[in-house]
Amino acid sequence: QVQLVESGGRWVQAGGSLRLSCAASGRTFTIYAMGWFRQAPGKEREFVAAIRWSGGSSTYYADSVKGRFTISRDNAKNTVYLQMNSLKPEDTAVYYCAASFDRIDVGYDTWGQGTQVTVSS
């Protein structure tokens, strides 16, 4: 089993930056990819970014965050990061990290508890 704990969410003004962290523990060697997702009030959870856990550095982003957000990992610390720049009010959401054990595009079935990001205009 794998456990995920997010941190770093807080209130920030539009145009500002935040870095979210997701610490993984447990059987981390079984992870294939890590993703960030977000859910705004009254909306469905949506994909934000994903990265291979090891064996490559492929990254994927939602169109809405391309050029503003960067996903990265530090395998020595078992941590994935989401650097968020040029934040907009529409980025306000609870951000979740998730682990997939066989593919990068689907199969995210282990989730953290989420961290709140609030961007004010």
pLDDT at 50: 97
> Residue 7: in which H helix or E strand, if any?
strand 2-7
- The string of pLDDT tens digits covering residues 71-111 is 999 999 999 999 999 999 999 999 999 999 998 888 899 99
pLDDT at 56 over 90: no
DSSP string for 45-111: -EEEEEEESSS---EEE-TTTTTTEEEEEEGGGTEEEEEE-S--GGG-EEEEEEEESS-SSS-EEEE
- The string of pLDDT tens digits covering residues 27-48 is 999 999 999 999 999 999 999 9
pLDDT at 105: 85
* % of the chain exceeding 70 in pLDDT: 100
Query: Count of H helices and E strands in the chain?
Result: 0, 11
pLDDT at 94: 98
Q: How confident is the model at residue 59 (pLDDT cuts 50, 70, 90)?
A: very high
